[in-house]
Structure 1
Amino acid sequence: MTLEKPYINGHFTPVTDEITSHGLNVRGTLPPELNGRYFRNGHNPKPGITPTHWFRGEGMIHGIRLEGGRAEWYRNRWVRTPFLDGVPFTGTELDVSAAATNIIFHGGRYLALQEANLPWEVSADLDTIGVHDFGGKLTSAMTAHPKEDPETGELHFFGYSPFPPYLTYYVADASGAIVGSEVVDGSGPSLMHDFALTREHVVFINSPVVFDHAEHSGIPYRWHDDVPLRLGVMPRAGGGTTWFEVPDQAALLHVANAHTDAQGRIVLEAPRFDRAAWENSWKWWVGAPGYGTSPDAGSTLHRWTVDPATGKVTTESLNDLATEFPSINESHTGTANRYSYAIGFPGAGLSGYHTVKFDTRTGREKLLAHGEGRMPGEAVFTPAEGGTAEDDGYLLTIVSDLTADASELLVLDAGDLSTVAAVELPRRVPAGIHGNWIPDPA
């Protein structure tokens, strides 16, 4: 019997064409300081194609242009890489990319990212420009989760591989030029989707999910009980990487944030997968027998504290809700933050999908239920004009509504999660992966 693949059905049903629509209807009042573009990337296989894994669908970017309290346009475009034309991944041709995981703006370029490949540049109107290798200085793949230092404007990122050298670290200056790179010693063939940055350190993640030829889903990584979770701490000022073994075996897919505390300890917060949560989520990602109702089967927010003086790592549970896709006010990247945001998935006490706000100082959470048949995307923070508090701002998220066969861009108050405005989109936008609010130049 052929299984119905969950990642091309329901909220994830691909759209079959590219459209442009102008003058979108807005309910409520868009904050006038929101002048820019909200871009959201995700996997959208072409008609007639069923990928073997959620992560292998062709990349499509959806964009909404806001200016002066108006929603000027919506458009969606596939990223036109060789993969879109049927050229398969080979493991050596880094320009053959689905370009389907994230989209950032740095150094004057919009870059569509997927971690096994080079970035692909697109225009402000989402037309594909071409592969971008930073003038030949990027010689490996690039993570889909680079971190921009809010003080210097530098972009920190890495490339990983199942073969030596497993991990290479890069820094690009604010203009987009790579100014530093080095191979990270001591890493292994782990699936490294994300990492963390503090003002003083870079933190890399080696998890029990490692390269394995026996995994035939198209993404050759599998959980191994004999591989521990390790955190690699590299001083940004220079020096080698020290790897710390975590007694609690777990996998981390995305990081909320990290910082160095007053005692010199590195504190990292992220959703944590135990083996059951990882393997049940993987069933959904590949459409294997027994998959659940959503792509997250139980990752929960945790905190890891690395003490370089003792070499010990402690693990602390912060919440028991099933959440993923964490985000923060990125002006706090690398420093202590109080609030983070995430998608709340059905199960673990939640019925239906929610947007969740965590207060990691008090341990409390605030929930916004989106209603039956409605699934929000990642909550992207943008500051309010004149705001002073960490949560003075807005959250942007595209909501997929199966009942209405429609979508809207919600603008939420990041303080209390109330709806400020809703932009009605001309079609239902499939649930996707990551995106960003890209303001117009000041």
Structure 2
Amino acid sequence: MSVPTVNTAAPKAQQPLAGSDANATVFRILIAISLVHLFNDSIQSVIPAIFPILRSSMHLNYTQIGWISFAINFTSSIMQPVVGWFADRKPAPALLPIGMGFTFTGMLLLAFAGTYPAVLLAVVFVGLGSAAFHPEGSRVSHMAAGPRRGLAQSIFQVGGNAGQSLAPMLTMWIFIPLGLFGAIWFTLVAGAGIAVQIYVARWYGRKLQSGAQVKKKASARQLKPEVRTKVRFAIVMLIILVFVRSWYSSSISTFFPFYLIDHYGLSVDDAQIFIFLFLGAGAVGTFFGGPLADRFGKRNIIFASMVLAAPLALLLPHVGLWGVGVLLALLGLIVFSSFSVTVVYAQMLFPGKIGTVSGLITGLAFGLGGLGALVLGKWIDMAGVDTVMAICSFLPLLGVSTFLLPSDRLLNRWSEGGE
């Protein structure tokens, strides 16, 4: 009789903790998953950051560079919605450390890659690691959010954008002096990520066992046909936004260093500093975007990020070097302020499908970014980097169409069954 007593008492002892976590923002988990996001995205972002080194050491053209970017981003893009869909049906906390294991393998392969195909294989592994991490990481942040969904998503996403911003500096400190073998140091970062992911996965597993997982039936809703049409239209608008933001950020992070080197005569080291300004300011914008959206509305922040960025982007190719630094910082701050907000907005459109929606939006961002790098790289080979950078400056103008997105109030009415 003693064994049944122990088994029945354990869940009762855990229930208050689970209920407390369900109703409150669990900052220790948000910080932990954000830290791993920093590790993951700093590793993923060193791939485009080392393109100038790969170009000179392996004598690559811009099209070949575009294929490397396409390989890592397209792998991540295709797999993220699949992982998210699987996680919504059968949550798998073990995917968190497993994903970092793929990233570890990719950086180990990159450290010893002596040929172009070997580099492609290595970045595919890094892409798989990112695909395994992002949907489940977003689910964890949602479960730990409590009532502060915008803030929680910002904490989660700021880790990723901070990691992206570190990539140019890490390239300058590690890859420029050591070459590709410098990737070996990032296996230590991936190893630390695996350790943190094991901690997060244990919390995640306890939450699932305690019944804190959102039930599909509880979150299901029946939409009228006309509302369903409006939801589809909203998704199309979000895809346009993700396209604009992904292609524009890809043009800056992947090819703008070459523009700085060719147009202003900068060294590779100095060009990386300018990209750091863009990505570092983007991390700050990501953090503040969520709380601002909680206060002023998600649709309003999404629209503001595009309408404020458009004139600055148009001005960027026509200023001096000092102005380039200022505009890059402002553009990063503004453009990325809507990054986490876009994910939360999409989750409001499809409640109960956190992993699928998060994987779709984040995966789409990676996929379109990789496609953008491929297309822009081929275009630069044909027309020159100056011409393509000038044309890319018009991209944020397309994002102004996000003023057509339904308001937050309308989304709330839809979720309650109204029109």
Decide: shared fold, TM above 0.5.
no
Normalised TM-score (structure 1): 0.25
Which structure: greater helix fraction?
A: 2
Normalised TM-score (structure 2): 0.26
Which structure: greater strand fraction?
A: 1
Larger radius of gyration: 2
Of structures 1 and 2, the one with the larger relative CO (CA 8 A, separation 6+) is: 2
